Amino acid sequence: AQSVTQPDIHITVSEGASLELRCNYSYGATPYLFWYVQSPGQGLQLLLKYFSGDTLVQGIKGFEAEFKRSQSSFNLRKPSVHWSDAAEYFCAVDLKRGGSQGNLIFGKGTKLSVKP
């Protein structure tokens, strides 16, 4: 069955430190891959996505992610974390079913805390 795994439930980093959030997927083909961020009590906002092509993708707020087919991974990175980055981060896969995309399967999420 298709699945998305985020092995880290909670990560704490110091402000200004680098960040890497891990994501692995299980899917027969290369799916569409996404990272979304959710602040407390809010909806989700797209950070970045991968469809095909260059395996290093840039997103908003200084985030980037690298797709590694051999490892079925799509890890999110940021070189210097800001306090405002504290939020829940979800990796997601679009299964491309039903003729219309947007059928997302989410990982369980990684909660990011930022120390001053």
Partner 1 sequence: DTEVTQTPKHLVMGMTNKKSLKCEQHMGHRAMYWYKQKAKKPPELMFVYSYEKLSINESVPSRFSPECPNSSLLNLHLHALQPEDSALYLCASSQARASSYTGELFFGEGSRLTVL
Give the C-alpha distances (Å, rounded to integers) separating 96 from 27, 29, 83, 93, 101: 11, 11, 35, 9, 5
- Asked if 49 touches partner 1 (CB under 8 A), the answer is yes
Min dist. Cβ of residue 37 to partner 1 (A):
11
Residue 36 token pair = 């979304």
* Residues facing residue 12 across a β-bridge: 113
The Cα–Cα gap between 58 and 62 comes to: 8
Contact between 10 and partner 1 per CB under 8 A: no
Q: Taking contact as CB under 8 A, which single stretch among the options 19-27, 65-73, 75-83, 98-106 is the one that binds partner 1?
A: 98-106
CA atoms in the 13 A half-sphere facing the CB of 41: 0
Q: For residue 107, state whether it binds partner 1 (rule: CB under 8 A).
A: yes
Examine residue 74 and tell whether it contacts partner 1 (CB under 8 A). Answer: no
Q: Is 94 in the site for partner 1 (CB under 8 A)?
A: yes
In the complex, the residues that contact partner 1 under the rule CB under 8 A are: 32, 34, 41-46, 49, 51, 90, 94, 97-109
